[in-house]
Structure 1
Amino acid sequence: MNLNLIEDACQAQGSRHRGRLAGTFGEVGCFSLNDGKIYAAGEGGYLLIDNPVIAARAAAYRTH
């Protein structure tokens, strides 16, 4: 079975575990910018993706 890891790093911007930055362990690192988060921008968030196929699929949903 081939599974991709999606890392929920929503309030871990800049954090490290054993030298690696949060959001870089899986295929996708998810961060939130909603009100009440460490870094708030009102609403939304961002993804860290190092795979062009997954990035293209995620971009297709960016306005939903």
Structure 2
Amino acid sequence: MLASPDNWQKYYPGTPEEQRVQRHFSFSDRIRYYWPTPEAQRATRTLLDVLSEKDIPRPLVSQY
């Protein structure tokens, strides 16, 4: 998000620390702007590759 502040800056007023908190907890609302980027696609692929090698307990998955 920091690389593309035009997508969020006008929606998150305040100090840099307040903006950091807002970005952290509001990220899912603005993810639509980032999904198509090559960086997001690459990061998603990497995450899924890593997770595919792990056995994630069902109770952990059901929490989210």
- Structure number with greater CO (CA < 8 Å, separation at least 6) is 1
Structure holding more strand per residue: 1
TM-score computed with the length of structure 2 as normaliser: 0.23
More helix, by proportion: 2
